[in-house]
């Protein structure tokens, strides 16, 4: 993956983030997993910041698709095919979160699978003012991006460090492994010898 141009990886990450947040698309395209894997490419502070921003924009773009569809279909949204496929119970949870938290539910449910996809549409169906929806969507998108890009970047850095350490201390690790195997083998032989000697005495 490191051989691919970073702008291309960033673009793919943004599309995957949109797919994860876009109403109904995230159930088909594994956007969450894709962003997590692509986060490995965020190997420098500049790349991390760029990936964070691109993914957050992709997420909020998906939110807007849901919001405007909910705004258009309003009360009919609950009975649509996409909501039935994702689960009406999840729609009801998103609606309940809106009743409790208002527009902030878009942020509050951001890390709740499926519900986070339906909450923007529920906000649109409930005619939540766009001026309240937008900041909640942006904040939630940044949170989601920070979690998944951050996990991916951390995993990538850890893997690179492990590879570096293994390369540097490979002979030491090999010697240690050989000593452990030899010690275990010797211990087993001694136990077998002791057991055999005990049997001879008892006989």
Other CB atoms within a 10 A radius of the CB of residue 54 amount to 23
* pLDDT tens, the chain, 203 aa long: 556 788 888 898 898 889 888 875 555 556 777 888 888 888 889 999 999 999 999 999 999 999 999 998 888 888 888 888 888 999 999 999 999 999 999 999 998 888 988 999 999 999 999 999 999 999 999 999 999 999 888 877 765 565 555 555 556 655 666 787 677 777 767 766 665 555 455 55
Tell me the C-alpha distance between 191 and 6, whole Å: 58
Which pLDDT belongs to residue 36?
83
Which pLDDT belongs to residue 119?
93
With tokens 């698309």, the residue in question is: 25
Which DSSP letter does residue 109 get? T
Residues in the chain: 203
pTM for this one?
A: 0.73
Which pLDDT belongs to residue 198?
55
């Amino acid at each position: 993956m490191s051989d691919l141009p970073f702008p291309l990886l960033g673009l793919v990450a943004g599309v995957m983030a949109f797919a994860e947040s876009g109403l109904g698309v995230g159930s088909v395209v594994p956007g969450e997993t894709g962003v997590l894997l692509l986060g490995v490419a965020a190997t420098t502070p500049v790349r991390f910041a760029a990936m964070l921003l691109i993914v957050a924009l992709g997420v909020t773009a998906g939110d807007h698709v849901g919001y405007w569809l909910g705004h258009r279909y309003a009360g009919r949204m609950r009975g649509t095919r996409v909501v039935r496929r994702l689960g009406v119970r999840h729609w009801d949870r998103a609606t309940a979160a809106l009743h409790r938290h208002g527009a902030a539910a878009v942020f509050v449910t951001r890390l709740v699978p499926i519900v986070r996809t339906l909450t923007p549409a529920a906000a649109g169906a409930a005619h939540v003012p766009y001026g309240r929806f937008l900041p909640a969507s942006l904040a939630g998108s940044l949170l989601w991006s920070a979690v998944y890009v951050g996990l991916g970047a951390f995993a990538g850095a850890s893997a690179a460090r492990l590879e570096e350490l293994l390369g540097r201390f490979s002979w030491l690790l090999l010697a240690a492994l050989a000593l452990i195997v030899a010690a275990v083998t010797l211990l087993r032989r001694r136990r077998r010898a002791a057991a055999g000697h005990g049997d001879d005495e008892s006989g």
